[in-house]
């Protein structure tokens, strides 16, 4: 092995060295390194790069800049024509007003409560189900998995009406879950895609590892806790982030099932109050509502992006 790598490296040294000059050792892409190496290629590259970088910053950060500064303007300035690029005077009190008038603390707490409750339910029930389907393989396991995956074929919006009617009067238990966090938590468990991702990951764990644990007399629960879960940290991270972000971004379902203003989520609460407050206070509220998810994104961007491309297509 070692010698053959050496030989092949010696054979392609010239090309590799040149590639490193222009491409920092990365895999080659559409434009050849040689073309980029020429003065004209290099000039075109930098012009395109500068235009795209500038354009992207304007298109994607521009609106966020407008949002943050819009929240700092006076009621007159924010609806003034032509608009001002910089607030002529800074009014941070809009943010505290938004916080108080729209009761953002309550909305934020509600959303956190729903999101992390849903996360806990999904982590416990979906992980247990995926582990059972992957490793314990009960009778009818394949049929159950198939029925779970079949729900992915049904457009989510089509099910909203019958799901809502179910929440109004849960059969057998005869409970009305309207305005209760259970209306968010329990349906969040029916995430077939998460179960599929988890099962596929558990399938890839070498069987000998689990057999050895069973040989030592470990129960399935013990094996799951002490062997499977520690190995599965990356996939658990991805599933957790998507569980929290999913609840955070949802709109129609919480709007229907949590109509009580004291129990609403950030999205629904801000929407239902949006017509009653001045534009600058509303924009300040939008900024505050964006901060938590942006923080999560900046902290976990690596996990989020890898999760997106690893599992984003299969289903």
Partner 1 sequence: MSAPTLSTGKASAPPPGHHHPTTGPDSAREEFVRALRRNITAHGFLIGAVLCFSFFSWYPMVREFLLAFQKTEDGRTTWAGWSNLSYVFNDPAFWQAWRNTLLFTVLALLLGFAVPFVVAVVLNEFRHAQGYLRLLVYLPVMLPPVASVLLFKYFYDPGYGLFNRILEFLHLPAQQWLQDPGTSMLSVVIASTWMNMGGATLIYLAALQGIPGELYEAAELDGAGLFRKIWHVTIPQTRLILSLLLLMQIIATMQVFTEPFLLTNGAGPEGSTTTVVYLIYQYAFNFNNYGGAAALGLLLLVVLAGFSAVYVRLSRSSED
Within 13 A of 154's CA, how many CA atoms are on the CB side?
Answer: 15
| Residue 311 binds to partner 1 (criterion: CB under 8 A) | no
- Distance separating alpha carbons of residues 292 and 245, to the nearest angstrom: 10
Nearer to partner 1, 90 or 295 (CB): 295
Among residue numbers 93 through 112, which ones bind partner 1 (CB under 8 A)? none
- Enumerate helices (H) and strands (E) in the chain, giving the number of each: 20, 0
**Which of 5, 154, 174, 260 contacts partner 1 by CB under 8 A?**
154
**Which of 11, 274, 276, 299 contacts partner 1 by CB under 8 A?**
274
- Distance separating alpha carbons of residues 167 and 177, to the nearest angstrom: 5
| Residue 180 binds to partner 1 (criterion: CB under 8 A) | no
Question: Which 3 state secondary structure label does DSSP give 66?
Answer: helix
| Residue 226 binds to partner 1 (criterion: CB under 8 A) | no
| Residue 309 binds to partner 1 (criterion: CB under 8 A) | yes
**Which of 98, 108, 123, 133 contacts partner 1 by CB under 8 A?**
133
Q: Determine the length of the chain.
A: 315
Nearer to partner 1, 26 or 93 (CB): 26
| Residue 299 binds to partner 1 (criterion: CB under 8 A) | no
How many Å separate Cα 281 from the centre of its chain? 28
End-to-end CA distance of the chain: 38
| Residue 27 binds to partner 1 (criterion: CB under 8 A) | yes
Nearer to partner 1, 3 or 112 (CB): 112
In whole angstroms, the minimum distance from the beta carbon of 279 to partner 1 comes to 7
# binding residues, partner 1 (CB under 8 A): 109
Contact 72, 56 (CB under 8 A): no
- Distance separating alpha carbons of residues 61 and 67, to the nearest angstrom: 10
Beta-bridge partners for 170: 175
**Which of 100, 151, 179, 226 contacts partner 1 by CB under 8 A?**
151
| Residue 303 binds to partner 1 (criterion: CB under 8 A) | no
| Residue 168 binds to partner 1 (criterion: CB under 8 A) | no
User: What is the C-alpha R_g of the chain?
Assistant: 26
In whole angstroms, the minimum distance from the beta carbon of 135 to partner 1 comes to 9
- Distance separating alpha carbons of residues 28 and 31, to the nearest angstrom: 8
- Distance separating alpha carbons of residues 232 and 223, to the nearest angstrom: 13
| Residue 266 binds to partner 1 (criterion: CB under 8 A) | yes
Nearer to partner 1, 6 or 308 (CB): 308
- Distance separating alpha carbons of residues 11 and 115, to the nearest angstrom: 56
Tokens read off for 44: 């075109």
Report phi then psi at 170, rounded to 5.
Answer: -70, 125
**Which of 131, 193, 201, 242 contacts partner 1 by CB under 8 A?**
131
| Residue 32 binds to partner 1 (criterion: CB under 8 A) | yes
| Residue 7 binds to partner 1 (criterion: CB under 8 A) | no
Q: For partner 1, which stretch binds (CB under 8 A), given 4-12, 55-63, 86-94, 225-233? A: 55-63
Q: For partner 1, which stretch binds (CB under 8 A), given 3-11, 81-89, 93-101, 228-236? A: 81-89
**Which of 69, 73, 126, 201 contacts partner 1 by CB under 8 A?**
126
CA angle 74, 72, 76 (to 5 degrees): 15
| Residue 155 binds to partner 1 (criterion: CB under 8 A) | yes
């Amino acid at each position: 092995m070692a010698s053959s790598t050496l030989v092949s490296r010696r054979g392609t040294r010239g090309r590799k060295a040149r590639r490193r000059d222009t491409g920092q050792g990365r895999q080659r892409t559409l434009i050849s390194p040689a073309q980029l190496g020429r003065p004209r290629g290099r000039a075109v590259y930098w012009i395109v790069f500068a235009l795209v970088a500038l354009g992207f910053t304007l298109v994607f950060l521009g609106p966020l800049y407008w949002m943050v500064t819009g929240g700092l303007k006076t009621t007159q300035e924010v609806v003034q024509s032509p608009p001002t690029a910089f607030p002529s005077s800074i009014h941070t009190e809009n943010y505290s007003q938004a916080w108080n008038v729209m009761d953002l603390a309550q909305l934020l707490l509600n959303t956190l409560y729903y999101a992390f409750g849903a996360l806990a339910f999904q982590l416990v029930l979906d992980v247990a189900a995926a582990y059972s389907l992957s490793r314990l393989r009960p009778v009818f396991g394949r049929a159950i998995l198939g029925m779970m995956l079949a729900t992915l074929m049904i457009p989510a919006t089509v099910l909203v009406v019958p799901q809502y009617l179910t929440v109004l009067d849960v059969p057998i238990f005869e409970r009305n879950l309207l305005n209760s966090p259970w209306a968010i938590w329990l349906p969040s468990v029916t995430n077939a895609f998460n179960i599929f991702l988890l099962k596929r990951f558990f399938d890839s764990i070498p069987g000998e590892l689990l057999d050895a644990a069973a040989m030592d007399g470990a129960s399935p629960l013990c094996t799951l806790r002490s062997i499977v879960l520690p190995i599965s940290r990356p996939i658990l991270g991805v599933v957790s982030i998507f569980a929290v972000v999913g609840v955070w971004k949802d709109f129609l379902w919480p709007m229907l099932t949590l109509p009580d203003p004291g129990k609403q989520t950030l999205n629904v609460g801000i929407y239902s109050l949006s017509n009653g407050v001045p534009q600058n206070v509303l924009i300040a509220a939008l900024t505050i509502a964006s901060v938590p998810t942006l923080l999560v994104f900046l902290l976990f961007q690596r996990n989020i992006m890898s999760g997106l491309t690893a599992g984003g297509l299969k289903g």
